[in-house]
Amino acid sequence: MRIGGTLRLLQREYGPIDWQIDRDPVSTLMATVLSQNTSDANSKRAFHSLITAFGNWEAVAEASVDEIAQSIKLGGLAEVKAKRIKLILQEIRELQGCLDLSFLRGLPLSEAKSWLRQLLGVGPKTAGCVLLFSLGRPALPVDTHVFRVAKRLGLIDSKVSPEQAHELLESVVPPEDIYSFHVHMVEHGRRICKAQRPRCHPCALQGLCPSYN
């Protein structure tokens, strides 16, 4: 696999990037739920509205589904996401006694993933986002951009499923490079390797890409 060359070219194109811890893990989990089947802009507005309305996750957990849905209606699928948010928060509280996921930092990575994936609707991408962005763990979320670009580059076989891609890519990207690999692959998918009409001519990866032109 051409991971090393891909990493070097992506870093040359988009610049070096430091691993940054974003929100607390519960907030990242909720933000990822809100991001499903909507645009980044709408999901960010819905997240801000939810926090503004309730102030903290304990208050959200105590709120009714209708109250939560009203606060996130800007993000789309409000009823579905409101039910999921409330149930996930309740599950965490029942399992842990509080709404705190910082303990996952101390678990082996596979155990931390398994713990998150027992929660309602939490798949490998959501679990990866929580671990990577909030806990500094080398878990690789494979979103639509990462999946598409990786397939076109031949980093994963065309028959690999999105779920399989998480483990396959994570196993070959050096742990210290997983954060920059994810961020740069997403950026490249948005700017250049688009789903429709990929911009192959200016692509910095064209020398490595079997799908070029």
125 in active site: yes
Question: Residues 109, 188, 145, 16: what is their CA dihedral angle, to the nearest 10 degrees?
Answer: 10
* Whether 7 contacts 181, CB under 8 Å: yes
User: Closest Cα to residue 69, out of 48, 54, 51, 83?
Assistant: 83
Other Cβ atoms closer than 10 A to 66: 11
**Cα–Cα–Cα angle for 32, 37, 42, nearest 5°?**
75
Of 125, 151, 159, 194, the active-site residue reads: 125
Q: What is the largest CA-CA distance in the chain?
A: 55
| Residue 26 tokens, joined | 């519960």
Rg, C-alpha atoms of the chain: 18
Annotated active-site positions, please? 125
